[in-house]
Structure 1
Amino acid sequence: MKILSGNSNPELAAAIAGYLDLELTKASVRRFADEEVFVEIGENVRGEDVFVVQPTSAPANDNLMELLICIDALKRASARRITAVVPYFGYARQDRKMGPRTPISAKLVANLITIAGAHRVLSVDLHAGQIQGFFDIPTDNLYAAPVMSADIESRLGKRELTVVSPDVGGVVRARALAKRLGNAPLAIVDKRREKPGESEVMNIIGDVQGRFCVLVDDIVDSAGTLCNAAAALMEAGALEVTAYVTHGVLSGGAVARVEASVLTELVITDTIAPLQVVRDSSKIRIITVAPLFAEAMRRTSEESSVSSLFD
């Protein structure tokens, strides 16, 4: 078993390798003068089970090309099996036609990864479960809920908690986390999105009066939805609102928006390498999914059950 890292999130790859007591595979992933990607594997991988750790976060196109070329280099070096470990799957939000003459980019990216030579894909909290069906190779979608629930119980365990989904589409995710927290009550924020990047909170479904609310979502990008939802929950009588989100995209002025919001804290995982402004934020905390990925990769290599991680 070998682990290869691209340039997208080398800290996460190193943490996964450390958990498995392995060294990262020697490789050079660099750019030519015209910004073309070049990959050179620095050690023998013939007949090996190789895992390529590369989130396709911003810059999405550069990181995606790195992933594809790493896979191609391993295929041509006769690796026995190549698993694309994509903690954050870019283009996942384009999983259906949003209007006439628009692409389904998530399916296109799935095709590219498959054709490049990957034998398996490993990700966490895909934006939509059906993305697994876009791949013609085995795909494991891990869940960050066990990591989040352990953190919530250690910090907020003795409080009267209500798990909140910031929209109707995230109810299944919120319900799964609520179940792990001893069947905590569930609430839903009903919102209407007038145009991309903007959301308007309409009302709260469920009782949050006097409760400590935990907002849960898969992606925080502009943070508008989370901040609006938190404000609505406080207006509805919540005592405190904390948000747990798997993928901290946090583009544009998202960090400043979180800092100015009524959120007590935003907790994200390290699927995406955090920018310095995120590390410096007083309201954003990062928890790691390295042990989760490491154990899933170990089980994949040993041909044992991955789904039992979440029983």
Structure 2
Amino acid sequence: MCGAWAAEPDDTRPAARFQGRGRRRGVVGPPDHRDRPPFCRPGDPAGAVAGPAVQEATPTGGEPPADSGDERWTDRPAGARRAPLACRHPGGAGYSVARRRRRLEPLVTLPGPLIFTGNAHPALGEAICASLGIPMGRAEVSSFSNENIFVRICENVRERDVFLVQSGARPVNASFMELLIMIDAVRRASAGRITAVIPYFAYGRSDKKDQPRVPITARLIANLLETAGASRILTMDLHAGQIQGFFNIPTDELTALGLLGDAIREREFRGVVVAPDLGSAKRARNMAEGLGAPLALCEKRRVSNNDEAQVLHLIGDVDGQDALIIDDEVDTAGTLVEVATLLKGHGAKTISAACTHGVLSGPALERLEHSPLSRLLVTDSLPLPGDAGDKIESVSVAPLLGEAIHRIHTGQSVGALFP
């Protein structure tokens, strides 16, 4: 009821008196109704009295409440409520600033991620972009004649979600410096978030002080990445899981065990999964559970700072069975060949290996060629040398990394990617 108090006996909520400059107490309505008695409708004549609803608010024969200084009792009867704000507005026409509905802005489409890559493994970056259906970001990464690295981002990254793909490929130090300089370049270009995608985390073996006066280089690498301006890290199958704790920024570690397991199932593997050392026991156990295969373990002791290692003995039975060695990386292949030789001596029928990172440095290719291994399965987290040979097969991790990038960009869980 516009401009009037409506009687509602069941509603006893207090309401403040409407006050306006130059208005008499209790007058509610537009300025042209100031001469009307309190609680009259705007359409009532000036001499009209309050309606029945107002008259019934005070019991017959009762006295109005005593003047207690509260102006509410002089303006409205008990049990009455005030008219809506739109009706009480001095300008009429049902308009109220307090009740005005805020106009909704149109939804803004979230721009897609921007992915750039250095010179360490550009083919992997291209494959990741292809899996996401987006183009590779344009950047110039080169070196001067004095071997100083130069980086220029060739498109706008302001407030964008930037992903820099750079694996720890040879030359390792140059690859790492490229990544640091790329991070600094996009940070100074006002990127909204910077994720360093490092499929193979170099220096991962230097995760602890196992000798006097040696560094913990993995921690140093983490500090440098944070100082350069990285917002988060995306990596895969770290040599030691505790490296995640070296970072003070979010770090997601994926695993390629699921991809490797799928490739092994396609070949209908029926045999024993072997861990080449104690550090690989958990990884090998997970693979064995996924394949429904038994587990064997080799105990290894490294006797010097070089790549030589000594295998002591085998725990488990591989006689007359196919053996599958599981490890996080194969570098010089010294350990892998030693374990394969040991398994052959214990009667293994065929011997193969599956490793996430195929570093394959130094004499690795030659050792593999003359070893009892029949096949080595790796991922493309690192580029394979051109003369890798027929024993080495590769599985792409680009779809896995692409899905992780999509989930990070859209705020979804990355943990769902774990097998």
Q: Counterpart of 1:253? A: 363
Q: Counterpart of 1:233? A: 343
Comparing both chains, which one has the higher relative contact order based on Cα–Cα distances under 8 Å and sequence gaps of 6 or more? Answer: 1
For residues 221-264 of structure 1, the C-alpha deviation after alignment (integer angstroms, 9 at most, x for no partner) is: 11010011011111111111110011111111110100100001
Q: Counterpart of 1:282? A: 390
Task: Give 1:105's aligned amino acid.
Answer: T
- Structure 2 unaligned regions, length at least 5: 1-112
Is the Cα–Cα contact under 8 Å of residues 123 and 142 in structure 1 kept in the other structure?
A: yes
Is the Cα–Cα contact under 8 Å of residues 46 and 78 in structure 1 kept in the other structure?
A: yes
Distance apart, 1:57 and its partner CA: 2.2
Q: Counterpart of 2:184? A: 72
1:303 aligns with one of 406, 411, 414? 411
| 1:294 matches 2:406 | no
Determine the C-alpha separation between the residues in 2 that align with 1:27 and 1:61: 20
Determine the C-alpha separation between the residues in 2 that align with 1:28 and 1:193: 43
Task: Give 1:288's aligned amino acid.
Answer: S
- Provide the secondary structure at the position in 1 that maps to 2:141: strand
Determine the C-alpha separation between the residues in 2 that align with 1:173 and 1:125: 10
1:38 aligns with one of 129, 150, 166? 150
Determine the C-alpha separation between the residues in 2 that align with 1:143 and 1:210: 30
- Provide the secondary structure at the position in 2 that maps to 1:69: helix
Distance apart, 1:137 and its partner CA: 0.3
Q: Counterpart of 2:163? A: 51
Higher-Rg structure is 2
Q: Counterpart of 2:287? A: 177
Q: Counterpart of 1:266? A: 376
- Provide the secondary structure at the position in 1 that maps to 2:195: strand
Is the Cα–Cα contact under 8 Å of residues 326 and 355 in structure 2 kept in the other structure?
A: yes
Task: Give 2:275's aligned amino acid.
Answer: S
Is the Cα–Cα contact under 8 Å of residues 17 and 23 in structure 1 kept in the other structure?
A: yes
Determine the C-alpha separation between the residues in 1 that align with 2:214 and 2:145: 34
Determine the C-alpha separation between the residues in 1 that align with 2:383 and 2:302: 29
Q: Counterpart of 2:43? A: none
Determine the C-alpha separation between the residues in 2 that align with 1:211 and 1:47: 56
Determine the C-alpha separation between the residues in 2 that align with 1:237 and 1:34: 55
Distance apart, 1:192 and its partner CA: 2.2
Distance apart, 1:219 and its partner CA: 1.3
TM-score normalised by L of structure 1: 0.97
Determine the C-alpha separation between the residues in 2 that align with 1:260 and 1:252: 15
Determine the C-alpha separation between the residues in 2 that align with 1:194 and 1:44: 52
1:165 aligns with one of 262, 270, 275? 275
1:187 aligns with one of 296, 310, 314? 296
Task: Give 1:75's aligned amino acid.
Answer: R
- Provide the secondary structure at the position in 1 that maps to 2:406: helix
For residues 41-60 of structure 1, the C-alpha deviation after alignment (integer angstroms, 9 at most, x for no partner) is: 01111111010000122211
Q: Counterpart of 1:4? A: 116
TM-score normalised by L of structure 2: 0.72
Is the Cα–Cα contact under 8 Å of residues 121 and 169 in structure 2 kept in the other structure?
A: no
User: Where is the strand percentage greater, Structure 1 or Structure 2?
Assistant: 1
RMSD: 0.9
Task: Give 1:187's aligned amino acid.
Answer: A
Matches for 1:215-234 after TM superposition, within 5 Å: 215-234=325-344
Matches for 1:189-204 after TM superposition, within 5 Å: 189-195=298-304, 196-204=306-314
| 1:104 matches 2:216 | yes
Query: Which aligned segments of 4 or more residues in structure 1 are displaced greater than 3 angstroms?
Result: none
Is the Cα–Cα contact under 8 Å of residues 322 and 349 in structure 2 kept in the other structure?
A: yes
Determine the C-alpha separation between the residues in 2 that align with 1:120 and 1:63: 18
